[in-house]
Amino acid sequence: MTASTADPAPLGRRARKQELTRLRLVAAAHQQMSAAGAQSITILSITEAADVAQGTFYNYFESRDAIIDAVIHEAVETFGQRLDSLTRGMPDAAEIYSFSLRHLMHTAVSDPVWGWLLVRLGIAQTTLLSILGPRAARDIQIGVDSGRFVVPDVALASAMTFGAMLSAMHSYLDGPREFDPSQQYAEYLLRMVGIPALEAHEITQRPLPPMPALDDLGPAT
């Protein structure tokens, strides 16, 4: 077996300790952001929660903004992986798109702090677009290739998906929050990609499968 094909060597004790410290810092920041929003984050609050010296923080992150970016990246990437696992093998592109949209929108319903964070970050946040954008484009392209969707410009439809999501989240979070808009949001987007109105409504009324647990994630594709 050549060096290029050999399995990577296991981390040494020092490297394992460094990785655990980084994970503690990110976990502390994630917990605080979930509880009180990104604006509550300070380096002192993170290091105290992680039981790490303030000076040690800078061995892992350049700034407060850098660890916030790390938390967002890990949260969004994990969410994307769970959606991948949920929809992997589903035969109908319209159902794949609908289930993904409903779960995305439901993040604002189930966790308003994270919903507001996504709204305030907006589509200018490169993490959101770089992680979820290609997944949305992939799902729309599956629909186009299978003949389920009529979309002349997949990239534009993907961008509109997230623009609509953030606007819908803002409308929900800034309003009376009397009902979960996830099904209606998905219905409108299905109609955007060419699904007839009655069928779009029926698809979005189907029982929503729960998101897979982290431990149940299948291999990446």
Which residue blocks in the chain are alpha helix, DSSP H?
13-36, 43-50, 54-57, 64-87, 93-110, 112-121, 126-146, 154-173, 182-192, 197-204
pTM of this structure: 0.79
Q: How far is CA 106 from CA 102, 115, 169, 180, in A?
A: 6, 9, 9, 7
Q: How far is CA 178 from CA 102, 111, 114, 155, 171, in A?
A: 17, 15, 19, 33, 12
CA distance 218 to 199: 30
Q: How does pLDDT run along the chain (221 residues), one tens digit per residue?
A: 344 445 455 668 888 888 999 999 999 998 888 777 778 889 999 999 999 999 999 999 999 989 988 888 888 888 889 999 999 999 999 999 999 999 999 988 888 877 887 787 775 566 777 888 899 999 999 999 999 999 999 999 998 998 898 899 999 999 898 899 999 999 999 999 999 999 999 999 999 999 998 766 654 44
207: left (phi over 0), alpha (psi -120 to 50) or beta: beta
- Domains of the chain and any CATH numbers: 12-67 (1.10.10.60), 92-208 (1.10.357.10)
Q: Please name the residues in contact with 87: beta carbons below 8 A apart, sequence gap of 6 or more.
A: 96, 99, 100, 139
CA distance 25 to 22: 5
Contact of 71 with 29, CB cutoff 8 Å: yes
CA atoms within 13 A on the CB side of 20: 8
- Work out the angle between the directed axes of helices 64-87 and 112-121 (0-180°, nearest 10): 110
Contact of 79 with 30, CB cutoff 8 Å: no
